[in-house]
Amino acid sequence: MGMFYDLSQGAPDSSVHIAILSDTHVAAYKNEQYRGFFPSKNFEQVLEQVSEKKPEAMIISGDIARLKGELGDYSAIQKQLQSLKSDMPVLMALGNHDNRLNFYDIFNDNTITRENVFNKHILVTDYNQIRVIMLDSLMYVNKTPGFLGQEQRNWLAKYLERSDNKPVFIFVHHTLSDGDTDLLDAERLFNVVEKHKKVKAIFYGHSHIYKITERNKIKLINVPAVGYNFIDSQPVGWLEARISADKGVFTLHAIGGNIESDGQVSEVKWR
Ligand SMILES: [Zn+2]
């Protein structure tokens, strides 16, 4: 006679529930449109869905504002964020269509402490057993490439050496290839993170494409855009993530563009 375990409830779920967005591209002018999409309306719809799902946190992986990161863009975004019906921290990375100083002018009461790296918007936050690091790849406002820079890379290298072994998930705006409009020091970022097994995945936006790939077992998760797609075959929407120490489960919520994969669930094992 063995012991009985009640498996009907399933294993206790220790995963962290996070809403992951990117490229909201919200303008001050609510009816601004591009390629037939209305970014403000998309954002409104996504925030309604996020409110219903009640995640523990929401992340926006850059290109929060429409083009130049105007104060009015951020005011509009802040106002829209107030429509969130459940209380959650909102972590935002900066992209090439953001303006750091304007962003800080509007989001100045951020309760999440910034890392002290010159001129960069870097956040580190722990949720249960996982750690989120938001990097800053904004190089020039309204020019397409991105760059972390040596100081930020050195900070990350030191941080990863000195911190405990919690699984780390990095968020950065720019694509991680070697094209002229990607993250220009992506190779050097990989050099920093690959030797730290605790770094499980890098999330990014910029391309307005949803795909999951990997490099040397680090998962690379390209988050779809909220504002608009660049090609019709891509969804517009967000990812509902349940992240634990060994895997991530991602549900695509497509609200526009190609919605064929709406509700698609992808399970990804971490290294
Ligand atoms: Zn974008």
Token readout for 134 is 């938001």
Summarised one tens digit per residue, pLDDT across range 50-78 is 999 999 999 999 999 999 999 999 999 99
Q: Is 73 helix (H, G, I), strand (E, B) or coil?
A: helix
CA of 23 relative to ligand 1 center, distance in Å? 4
CA of 244 relative to ligand 1 center, distance in Å? 28
Token readout for 244 is 């634990």
Summarised one tens digit per residue, pLDDT across range 258-270 is 999 999 999 999 9
Average pLDDT over residues 143-151: 97
CA of 219 relative to ligand 1 center, distance in Å? 21
pLDDT confidence of residue 213: 98
pLDDT confidence of residue 13: 67
CA of 208 relative to ligand 1 center, distance in Å? 6
pLDDT confidence of residue 11: 52
User: Looking at the predicted structure, is the pLDDT value of residue 9 above 50?
Assistant: no
Rounded Cα distance between 220 and 170, Å, is 10
CA of 9 relative to ligand 1 center, distance in Å? 41
User: Looking at the predicted structure, is the pLDDT value of residue 160 above 70?
Assistant: yes
CA of 124 relative to ligand 1 center, distance in Å? 23
CA of 207 relative to ligand 1 center, distance in Å? 7
CA of 171 relative to ligand 1 center, distance in Å? 15
CA of 225 relative to ligand 1 center, distance in Å? 7
Summarised one tens digit per residue, pLDDT across range 84-137 is 998 899 999 999 999 999 999 999 866 677 887 888 999 999 999 999 999 999
For residue 224, which of 246, 198, 255, 196 has the smallest C-alpha distance?
255
Whether the predicted model's global pTM rises above the 0.75 cut: yes
CA of 164 relative to ligand 1 center, distance in Å? 33
Average pLDDT over residues 17-29: 98
pLDDT confidence of residue 12: 57
User: Looking at the predicted structure, is the pLDDT value of residue 148 above 50?
Assistant: yes
Rounded Cα distance between 146 and 52, Å, is 34
pLDDT confidence of residue 2: 45
pLDDT confidence of residue 10: 45
* The residue to which tokens 């303008």 are assigned: 27
CA of 135 relative to ligand 1 center, distance in Å? 16
Q: Is 110 helix (H, G, I), strand (E, B) or coil?
A: coil
CA of 63 relative to ligand 1 center, distance in Å? 5
CA of 14 relative to ligand 1 center, distance in Å? 32
CA of 228 relative to ligand 1 center, distance in Å? 8
For residue 45, which of 268, 238, 262 has the smallest C-alpha distance?
238
CA of 233 relative to ligand 1 center, distance in Å? 16
Question: Please, is 52 exposed, middle or buried when counting C-beta atoms within 10 Å of its C-beta (0-12, 13-18, 19+)?
Answer: exposed
pLDDT confidence of residue 6: 46
Summarised one tens digit per residue, pLDDT across range 179-229 is 999 999 999 999 999 999 999 999 999 999 999 999 999 999 999 999 999
pLDDT confidence of residue 186: 98
User: Looking at the predicted structure, is the pLDDT value of residue 271 above 50?
Assistant: yes
User: Looking at the predicted structure, is the pLDDT value of residue 138 above 90?
Assistant: yes
